[in-house]
Structure 1
Amino acid sequence: MPKSFALLNRISARFTCVQHPSVPHLNAQDPSTRDLSTEQKSPGLILNLGLTRRLITLPFIVLALQAQAQMIRSDDPALIEKAQAASYGWVAKNDLPEYLHDAIPPGCNGLYIEIGPEAAAALTDEELEKLEVIVEADDAKITDGNKAVLTGNVSVSQGTRSISATTMTYEQELERATLADKVTIREPGTFIQGEYAEVSTSQSKASFNDAKFILKIQRANKSIGSQSIIRGSAKSVKQVSANVVEMEDGRLTACEPGDESWMLEGEKLTVNRETNRGTGKNVKLKVGSVPIFYLPYISFPVGDERQTGFLFPSFRSSDDGGLDFSLPYYWNLAPNYDATLTPRFISGRGTMLEGSARYLNKWMRTEGGLAFLPNDGGSPDPDLDDLIREGQLTEERARPNKGNNRWMAKLDQRGGDTEGWYTRADYTKVSDEDYFRDLGASSFASNNQIFLNQSLEVGYQFDHWKLSSLAQSQQILLVDIDSPYRKLPQIDIDGRYNFDDWTFILQNRYTQFKHRDNRPDILTGQRFNTDYRMRLEKRYPWGFFTPEVGFKTLSYDLDENPLLSLTEQEQLSLSAPQASVDMGLVFEHGGGAFTQTLEPRVFYLYRQFENHDELLGIGANNDLNVNFDTSARTFSYGQLYRDSRFIGGDRLDDANQVTLGLTSRWQNNNTGRDLFIASVGQIFHFRDRRVTLAGSLSPEETEDTSESASELRVNLGRRTQLFTNAIYDTESRKINRGSAGLNFASQDYKKLFNITYSFLRDQNTLGPSNIINRDIDQLDVSFAHPVNKQWSLMGRVNYDFENQQELETFLGFEYNDCCYRLRFLARRWLDSNIANLVSDESAQYDQGIFFEIHFKGLGGSGAKVNSILNDGISGYETREKLLY
């Protein structure tokens, strides 16, 4: 019940009368004013009743409905008069003053008006309790000392809380108050109106007949549209005990008065505030007058606490996936652990079950999940059916997982963050390479994950040393990439000591490499790396100076393999000293609103050459190289100041080089933000690089200079950035790699625009066992733009010029009504399931129409459209959080 009902609870037997301003004042302490043994009648009295201020909370907020409509508090007399005369205190736009028109949310046609000054609404409950409770009426009768009858404009108020009616009767012996005819309750965020109300002031019971109400909900972490309004009605609202409230024939919606686009109806809703649980019987969701969802029984949480019960179901439908329906059930098992079980039906494939659980204590956080689809019925994609009928594909190739059991297992655990020890577990495994493409995420990028990580790490952090052990494997999801080696285990013992400006680093790593494929042509074994360094670091306002010396070692024990002529463990060992100096200056040109800097930087690196021939040409045919996890870096600006041109630990690359770089930035003196940053740099080699992955030198490794790398970033606004980077070959005088683009977001994130062009030419990378073509030539354009307050357009084009094909294209619109939102997408994308199986270009694509309706306050009909937009439009996820 609303807190205002507390004004009628436990009315004391002592009545004191204060005259209306039209009659002489009566002293409340005068004994004659307390003699109520005979009937007294005093027109125009204000009664000060000795009321205890016990607060009761209206239960319907437990449904956590969120809407667009806004509630504005006002003390404008003309506006208050309109609000009092209107249903629910809602005033249409045409009747609102001009200064309030901008406060109307998109799709809405008016505002709910609260009565009273903003300052009063800001008072806390404790401050309100100190205020006097005032009862006003045109006429009052007090009979036999225990019954008061008030008629005509009856009002009970305390600060911003008030109850009004045409008549009110209080019976002291029965400890009962009744109100009739236009009964209205007002308090900040709450408005209730009905024909009759009855309150037991001793038994914590109350009822309200033929009630209609509005409630304001303040949403957390929302900077735009932070409040939500719901309205509803009920045949009766009853408080049957101090903590249990029942509503019969209740109706709830987030739509404005006069609009019933959707409505949640329940034959009986019960809320127990002691157990923080609510229940509903025969609950229906109606769109217009048509019921679209029904539950004979539902359980929901009261307030913000988690409670066991069904969550809102998810619906999705598309051309490639058919109908996909899921209904999650949530178990709140304890304050620190819970679980969710989700039955899911996918047309054409069957019924699957998904489950997840969370556990939290002071030492660790653990989340896990399982999913299982028995006897997959195959994809309902009509494009595949056409290809099978035309003979371009067989059923087996088109639907390789038909009839198979599909499953996924996932574990994510983090422990010991605040202790010396820590644990990390990141494990995901699926039944087949196509699992996510068929059953998981919807975007092109997400559908083409390369691998799933499966790792467990345990460690301990001492004052100066860190000890850790890692076991790691990976599941490859693309058929044309070899499986990487497993680390079973990797042990690190790392030390770090700081003495003023001196730093000593001692890194030791032992790794046992295994492989999931038991092929005879695969090397396995153990590797031990060390990296010891001593560094002096001097930093000043005008620059920095950091010299460093170090020593690296690399050794192996390769496992026996008679087929490779390794009849005993092969022991190999390498080592190399190194030295470097990193230094830079900062020149500033001040004056005015900006400071311009010029920052030259010099980085010299020397590492002695160590012959790696014993790692090359191993095996019976001298065609294997020792390489467990190492590949060459793609040259970029970030590599200019790195001390290795390889990723991994299988090479001690030689170096005798100097990097010259220059950075300039423009900085706003008022905000401290960089408005413009430009950087350029190049490496100059004093000798050819001799250490390679496969033994042969590439042309780049014999050149005296590297390519020139540059970056440029211009901040055009707080949320708008222009960027470009380029790798320029000074020998051929052409740009080999680069990207450029613009990311724009308006201040309120309603407008988004992104354009990126990326290219990578003549870039073949040698991996552990094959050559990978990494050429890229792509354009990606995406946007979200409001046409007016209610309509928005969004779209994306991602085109691959290298292969002359679309990767993804979609165009859609969004209609934003006051109480619901519609989103529609027409999408065409490269179907990675069949793109490599057929030559017909049109058959390589899927296309579909996606439709989603979001009833504000009840959630959406599915997450697929949202997933496509979040992955395809940079900034869209932030837009959703701020606006909805």
Structure 2
Amino acid sequence: MPLPFAPPGKLGRRGTRCIRGQTTIAIGIAAALLAAPATAQVQAPESTFSTLIADRVDITEDGKLVATGNVEALYGDTRIKAGRIIYDDDTGNLQIEGPIVITQGENALVLADSAELSTDLTEGLIRSARVVLDQQLQLAATEINRVSGRYTQLYKTTASSCEVCAAHPVPLWQIRARRVVHDEVERQLYFDDAIFDVVGVPVAYLPRLRLPDPTLDRATGFLTPSLRSTDELGFGAKIPYFIKLGDSRDLTVTPYLSTNRTRTLEYRYREAYRGGDIEVNGAFSKDDIVDDPRAYLFAEGEFRLPRNLKLEFDVELTSDDTYLLDYDYSDKDRLDSALTISRADRRQLVVAELIAYESLRSSEDNETQPFLVGDLTWIEKFQPRFLGGIARFELDGHGHQRNSNKDVVGRDVTRISGALDWRRDWKGPWGVLFSTAAQAQMDHTSVYNDSTYPDDISEFTPYGLAEVRWPWIKQGARAGHVIEPVMQMVWSPDDGKDTPRDESTQLEFDEGNLFSLSRFPAGDALERGLRANIGVSWTRYDPTGWSLGTTVGRILRERDLHQFAGYESLDGLRSDWLAGVQLRLPNAMSFTNRTLFDDAFDVTKNELRFDWENEWIDIGSSYIWMEPSVAEDRDAVTHELTVDGDWQVNDRWLTTVDVRYDIELNRSASARFGLEYSTECATFDFSIRRRFTSSAQIRPTTDYNFEIKLAGFGDTGSGRQRPSRPGCRL
């Protein structure tokens, strides 16, 4: 609120000064002040209040109010700083002399030499002005007209988001126009007779051009085009067009045209709801690769339902096996369309899922692969009143169906399982931790189109577990150490009924299932017999911030029941040794290694993972070595090195790399390299992708992509985030 001030009778011809040498006057009621009695004080109404702050305020003989020296005028969210402001009560206008700085909210800034404006700042003329929108786009004009408080007309205008100064007088790009109209309500810029310059060279003339201002998130219009060149499709361009369908939905269509090789229309539809959202991506193509039309559709969404339920769906469809790879839409070789309903809280989990699969691999037949899979899981946790500990009830349902009706290869299966388990922990002397657990599981499986199995198979399987852990902790001045040996004794019956194993087809042995009741990932197979899961872990914590952790363990069995035939790391009376090592360094760098080896130290599997992430680098690399395995459909040694990551070289350069190299065959399987250069006003993105693999359906190809993004049009974030030119400021 402004301070009360003396009426004009006490101001005199030379004015007066208020607190800290400044005078505050309501210029919107200057005429009322001139007529006020000598003893009156007038306060301006807040709804129409305009405030003038200056070192000196004079009232001339003809009734004009003249403010000079550090002048500031405020009206709503608009603030004017000037060398001199003259208010004429007869015309109701402000004459402003520069240098002038006008700020409107947080998104608009005007610099000018002189101006004539109405007192509400909605009408007027500004000369030799420069407008800066959202600290990104600047428009320099010889003259600016304010119309109806909504439109700003700029004449003989140059628009650019590049910084221009004496050291760099020519911007990287600019748009010169005879006139530019800024609609502040629609947040649009309209250019008349526009010429697009690159480094001072005209490259395009556009009689009419409409672009969104930087404060607008979404507006109908063309987006930045991109160029693409591939061995399969030749040289082409993508020109996306964005259509705003409302505040909560939009559609983007992208024609993709190449040198007589393809005619493609890509699309993306998005819609947000009060309780969810959906997104649909797809394309239609006619090209020289195949004779028939090609298409794909990927859609996903999620919705919040009553009773804390969540609905999710995912649709993946394609016309042929290589379309996604040819156009670089996806690297997936198995499509899965899913519908899921779930609910989760601290005591209950309910998940119902239906999945439709389609394999794009030439080595797999969709007639004999399960194409429709349904799963139901219901888990309830509770505390038994008399036993203590935690109990859990789990109900699972599963079913899968194949397209083929042939015997054996067309086998369909449904299964329902119910399990009740209980676990309780105790703390014994010397810090020893004891645990005991029990589980009872009932399974019923129905088999169709397979004469090698009975139609119905039912079995009951009890489990018992006893566990001992003895953690040793040492905290010293130099480091802290934690050593924890663990031994589990697990029992379940040796014998069990033979059931089809369609889900547990790929087995892994790692730290996640070393101490578990069963190494099988699904309920179609259960681990049996008396066995001991043993292991020890050691972790060192250093005060400087790094840590080293190791885990070593294996499984010992009373009898070899041949449940893991073909999986050498798990088969036999003794499994392979599992050794895991993890090193974390204080500079966000980590190394993880997992190895499986036998008693003779012959390695069967080894994986080394390296990760490094900080402000400038985000790199991950994996080294994998695996022996051949018939059970895992691996007929040769797997020996690969993968590298993927980003390196922000400096404020302007960003490099990306994604390489998969087959060391055994001494060749790359795939490689992608990207290079991005950013300035304060543009981003140039170039990438190369090479696919080396070949088959009867896939040929090695090389793709090139190039895209330019101009800053300053549409929402590009809050303020300027890109690097500035040395010695320049916007």
State the TM-score, normalized to the length of structure 2. 0.81
**Deviation of the 1:460 alpha carbon:** 6.0
**Within the alignment, does 1:508 sit opposite 2:395 as a pair?**
yes
Q: Counterpart of 1:685 in structure 2: which amino acid?
A: R
8 Å CA contact 1:420, 1:462 repeated in 2: no
**Deviation of the 1:429 alpha carbon:** 0.9
**Deviation of the 1:171 alpha carbon:** 1.1
Distance 1:367 1:851, change over 3 A: closer
**Deviation of the 1:302 alpha carbon:** 7.1
Which residue in 2 is equivalent to 1:234? 141
CA–CA separation in structure 2 for the residues paired with 1:793 and 1:341: 29
Q: Counterpart of 2:502 in structure 1: which amino acid?
A: F
8 Å CA contact 1:610, 1:652 repeated in 2: no
**Within the alignment, does 1:738 sit opposite 2:627 as a pair?**
no
CA–CA separation in structure 1 for the residues paired with 2:207 and 2:602: 67
- 1:542-561 alignment runs, 5 A limit: 544-559=433-448
Which residue in 1 is equivalent to 2:295? 407
8 Å CA contact 2:654, 2:676 repeated in 1: yes
**Deviation of the 1:660 alpha carbon:** 1.4
**Deviation of the 1:799 alpha carbon:** 1.6
Q: Counterpart of 2:520 in structure 1: which amino acid?
A: F
Which residue in 1 is equivalent to 2:532? 658
Q: Counterpart of 1:807 in structure 2: which amino acid?
A: A
Q: 2:557 aligns with which of 679, 685, 692?
A: 685
CA–CA separation in structure 1 for the residues paired with 2:527 and 2:213: 61
Q: Percent identity?
A: 16
Distance 1:256 1:526, change over 3 A: same
Distance 1:461 1:32, change over 3 A: closer
Distance 1:421 1:192, change over 3 A: closer
- 1:6-21 alignment runs, 5 A limit: none
Distance 1:30 1:41, change over 3 A: closer
Q: Which moved more, 1:578-587 or 1:697-706?
A: 697-706
CA–CA separation in structure 2 for the residues paired with 1:252 and 1:370: 36
CA–CA separation in structure 2 for the residues paired with 1:859 and 1:261: 19
Greater per-residue strand proportion = 2
**Deviation of the 1:206 alpha carbon:** 3.3
Q: 1:603 aligns with which of 483, 488, 495?
A: 488
Which residue in 1 is equivalent to 2:173? 262
Q: Which SS does the other structure have where 1:532 is aligned?
A: strand
Which residue in 1 is equivalent to 2:311? 423
Q: Counterpart of 1:422 in structure 2: which amino acid?
A: K
CA–CA separation in structure 1 for the residues paired with 2:207 and 2:455: 69
Q: How many residues align?
A: 685
Structure 1, residues 541-594: CA drift from partner, whole Å, max 9, x if none? 957543221123333333357xx599xx82222332212234423221113264
CA–CA separation in structure 1 for the residues paired with 2:268 and 2:384: 48
Q: 1:457 aligns with which of 328, 340, 353?
A: 340
CA–CA separation in structure 2 for the residues paired with 1:603 and 1:52: 86
Which residue in 1 is equivalent to 2:584? 715
CA–CA separation in structure 2 for the residues paired with 1:882 and 1:255: 11
CA–CA separation in structure 2 for the residues paired with 1:170 and 1:488: 79
Q: 1:527 aligns with which of 407, 414, 425?
A: 414
8 Å CA contact 1:526, 1:557 repeated in 2: yes
Distance 1:179 1:282, change over 3 A: same
**Deviation of the 1:32 alpha carbon:** 3.1
CA–CA separation in structure 2 for the residues paired with 1:859 and 1:202: 28
8 Å CA contact 1:797, 1:809 repeated in 2: yes
Distance 1:431 1:358, change over 3 A: same
Q: Which SS does the other structure have where 1:655 is aligned?
A: coil
CA–CA separation in structure 2 for the residues paired with 1:659 and 1:787: 48
Q: Which SS does the other structure have where 1:371 is aligned?
A: strand
Which residue in 2 is equivalent to 1:345? 257
Which residue in 2 is equivalent to 1:79? none
8 Å CA contact 1:49, 1:135 repeated in 2: no
Which residue in 2 is equivalent to 1:117? none
Q: 1:836 aligns with which of 690, 695, 704?
A: 695
Q: Which SS does the other structure have where 1:32 is aligned?
A: helix
Which residue in 1 is equivalent to 2:72? 156
CA–CA separation in structure 2 for the residues paired with 1:367 and 1:883: 33
**Deviation of the 1:478 alpha carbon:** 1.4
**Within the alignment, does 1:50 sit opposite 2:33 as a pair?**
no
Q: Which SS does the other structure have where 1:641 is aligned?
A: coil
CA–CA separation in structure 1 for the residues paired with 2:568 and 2:619: 41
CA–CA separation in structure 2 for the residues paired with 1:358 and 1:811: 30
Q: Which SS does the other structure have where 1:647 is aligned?
A: coil
Q: 1:805 aligns with which of 651, 658, 667?
A: 667
Which residue in 1 is equivalent to 2:328? 440
Structure 1, residues 750-777: CA drift from partner, whole Å, max 9, x if none? x4555432111123335xxxx4447420
- 1:628-667 alignment runs, 5 A limit: 628-667=502-541
Distance 1:757 1:530, change over 3 A: same
Q: Which runs of 5+ in 1 are unaligned?
A: 1-6, 17-27, 54-128, 218-228, 379-398, 616-625, 861-880
CA–CA separation in structure 2 for the residues paired with 1:505 and 1:428: 36
8 Å CA contact 2:215, 2:714 repeated in 1: no
CA–CA separation in structure 2 for the residues paired with 1:783 and 1:460: 36
**Deviation of the 1:457 alpha carbon:** 2.5
**Deviation of the 1:783 alpha carbon:** 6.4
Which residue in 2 is equivalent to 1:592? 477
Which residue in 1 is equivalent to 2:573? 704
Q: Counterpart of 1:547 in structure 2: which amino acid?
A: T
Which residue in 1 is equivalent to 2:287? 377
Q: Which SS does the other structure have where 1:436 is aligned?
A: helix
Structure 1, residues 670-714: CA drift from partner, whole Å, max 9, x if none? 9xx76222211111112102346xxx6776665221111111111
**Deviation of the 1:474 alpha carbon:** 0.9
Which residue in 2 is equivalent to 1:176? 93
**Deviation of the 1:451 alpha carbon:** 1.0
**Within the alignment, does 1:762 sit opposite 2:628 as a pair?**
yes
CA–CA separation in structure 2 for the residues paired with 1:149 and 1:47: 12
Q: Which SS does the other structure have where 2:562 is aligned?
A: coil
Q: Counterpart of 1:439 in structure 2: which amino acid?
A: Y
CA–CA separation in structure 2 for the residues paired with 1:765 and 1:649: 19
Distance 1:849 1:311, change over 3 A: closer
**Within the alignment, does 1:134 sit opposite 2:134 as a pair?**
no
8 Å CA contact 1:277, 1:302 repeated in 2: no
Structure 1, residues 447-504: CA drift from partner, whole Å, max 9, x if none? 3x23111111235679966555432111212111344313464444443323475333
Q: Counterpart of 1:196 in structure 2: which amino acid?
A: S
Q: Which runs of 5+ in 2 are unaligned?
A: 30-47, 716-720, 725-730
CA–CA separation in structure 2 for the residues paired with 1:204 and 1:488: 65
**Deviation of the 1:598 alpha carbon:** 0.9
8 Å CA contact 2:27, 2:51 repeated in 1: no
Q: Which SS does the other structure have where 1:646 is aligned?
A: coil
Which residue in 2 is equivalent to 1:360? 272
Distance 1:498 1:821, change over 3 A: same
Q: 2:456 aligns with which of 554, 557, 571?
A: 571
**Deviation of the 1:210 alpha carbon:** 2.8
Structure 1, residues 693-752: CA drift from partner, whole Å, max 9, x if none? xxx67766652211111111111224211222211221x42122112243234x422x45
Q: CA RMSD in A?
A: 4.3
CA–CA separation in structure 2 for the residues paired with 1:419 and 1:756: 43
**Within the alignment, does 1:726 sit opposite 2:591 as a pair?**
no
Q: Which SS does the other structure have where 2:60 is aligned?
A: strand
**Deviation of the 1:355 alpha carbon:** 2.7
**Within the alignment, does 1:481 sit opposite 2:364 as a pair?**
yes
Which residue in 2 is equivalent to 1:846? 701
**Deviation of the 1:809 alpha carbon:** 4.3
**Deviation of the 1:142 alpha carbon:** 1.5
8 Å CA contact 1:364, 1:413 repeated in 2: yes
8 Å CA contact 1:406, 1:431 repeated in 2: yes
- 1:174-253 alignment runs, 5 A limit: 174-180=91-97, 182-185=99-102, 192-202=110-120, 204-214=122-132, 217=135, 229-253=136-160
Q: Which SS does the other structure have where 2:631 is aligned?
A: strand
Greater per-residue helix proportion = 1
